[in-house]
Homo-oligomer: A and B are copies of this chain.
Amino acid sequence: MNEISDSLKQRFATIADLDAASAVLSWDQQTHMPEGGLAARAEQLSTLSRISHDMLVSEETGALLEETGNTDPTSVEGAFLRVARREYERAARLPSRLVGELSRTRSLAQGAWEKARTNSDWELFAPHLERMVALQREAAEHLGYEEHPYDALLDAYEPGMRKSQLDELFARLREELVPIVKKLPREATGEEPFRGNFDEEKQEEFSTRVVTDFGYDWSRGRQDRVTHPFCTSLGGPADVRITTRFDPTWFSYHFFATLHEAGHALYEQGVDPAYTRTPLAGGASLGMHESQSRLWENIVGRSREFWNHYQPLFGKTFPQAAGASAEDLYRAANVAYPSEIRTEADELTYNLHILIRYEIETALLEGDLEVSGLPGVWNEKTKSYLGFTPRSDARGVLQDVHWAMGLIGYFPTYTLGNVLSAQIFEAAESAHPEIREQISEGRFETLLGWLRENIHRHGRRYEPRELIERATGRPMESGPYVSYLKRKYGEIYDL
């Protein structure tokens, strides 16, 4: 068995520093940068990512990885090497010509997508998407795969996951959820307590209380206002920042976005500090990360126990809603109906939005679907799964930027997060049956402690598959999530 050399550690530490610097620059761009700074910032970010990428794919890195030889795969050093090699190989396998073309196409496609969405004009975007799909297919061939080219792309976001597993998962969700969604009301009902006038400072005061109760450590983070909320780690677990948004007439818009980002942040703040500046820093996968944001946003923040506890504070903070009972707030938090826009969709219908995208992007990659036919297919699937036809392509097939950015294989991680959140919460509850009772007292330390111990602290130490088995005793399964949705929405909407 060999040890990881200091040179190799130093190399990945340098890459981590460069990537953290990029994260600071991006955070600043989205939170505080004056408008004038945009062009210079783009150059700075491009320089940092070029240096980081060059350092990762350099012959020196390859040689250092090579000479390390075999390391006990179950040790921390073995995990370091597994992730380092994976990152190196994924980067080194793409010819630099292809990396350049992907970057150029991404930039053009994003511009075209913005225009296309504004004008609801598919034709403006179609040629760019066609080019992007061709490049992604080429990338998949370079990256390599055993079963399906989609696996090669998916692996970037969800290491080890296969399309064959997703096919099974989405088939189950389609079968279980489409019939329920069909029975939902066609529009929002019961959301009154969260609509009206909500002073922004009061909203922030309330959500800050909740997020602090969850266990978010403000001495290792902060919150700023942005257009599209995100969570970012700027120095391992020691500097994990969240961002949020406000709508002075709609409480949920700020509140659940904040819980969501806080969920991501609790994960990052809980990673073993020893992994900082190594490939083991951060979350195990996008799906695993999303499981934490969804768990705190939905399973905790949209639970009856949660609103039983926070109803008095909510009424005190927003006197106009003082008359709303805990049950009213619980129902307002769980309004569900088929809607056009994914990012505004509720917990129940959300997965069908992902299903549509998953079926389309796998078909695109297989060559079974022409880009020109995409709006038609999108609308048919929306009709069939959600029961309506989008009013326009802008509010349909053009609503997300992901494909323009080349993010094929990314959408499923949202649903993986949902599925995993229920399985993980079930395991935590089975270890500590008092968790639900504690939530109704505004206490979250047992839940957070279990997550820290079983998920957070491990960072990328284990493959997602291994991590979920270690944490829950079972491979990923959709059962707990489907039961959770059926139980909750069955009761609320009498389905």
Contacts and interface: CB of A to CB of B under 8 A. Distances in A.
A217 interface: yes
Nearest to A236: B40
Contact of A25 (B24, B37, B38): B24
A34 interface: yes
A277 interface: yes
A51 interface: yes
A97 interface: no
Range class of the A interface residue count: 35 or more
- Kindly report how many copies of this chain are found in the complex they form together: 2
Contacts of A217: 36
A218 interface: yes
Contacts of A220: 34-37
Contact of A17 (B28, B33, B47, B276): B47
B222 A44 contact: no
Contacts of A224: 32
Interface string A30-62: 001111111111011011100100000000000
A362 interface: no
Interface string A112-127: 0000000000000000
Contacts of A21: 21, 24-25, 44, 47-48
Nearest to A237: B36
Contacts of A33: 234, 239
A239 B40 contact: yes
A75 interface: no
A40 B48 CA distance: 17
Contacts of A25: 21, 24
A94 interface: no
B43 A277 contact: yes
Highest count of chain B CB atoms <10 Å: which of A25, A44, A236, A277: A44
Given A34-B218, A219-B34, A222-B34, A234 B40 contact: yes
Contacts of A241: 34
Contact of A221 (B34, B47, B238, B239): B34
A20 interface: yes
A328 to B, nearest CB: 37
A13 interface: yes
Contacts of A277: 40, 43
A220 B39 CA distance: 12
Contacts of A36: 217, 219-221, 235, 238-239
Given A14-B47, A28-B28, A276 B20 contact: no
A25 B24 CA distance: 7
A109 interface: no
A238 B33 CA distance: 10
A39 B238 contact: yes
A467 interface: no
Given A34-B222, A34-B239, A35-B219, 8 more contacts: A14-B47, A21-B21, A32-B224, A34-B238, A36-B220, A36-B221, A36-B238, A40-B235
Q: Which 5 A-B pairs have the closest CB atoms?
A: A40-B235, A37-B239, A36-B220, A17-B47, A36-B238
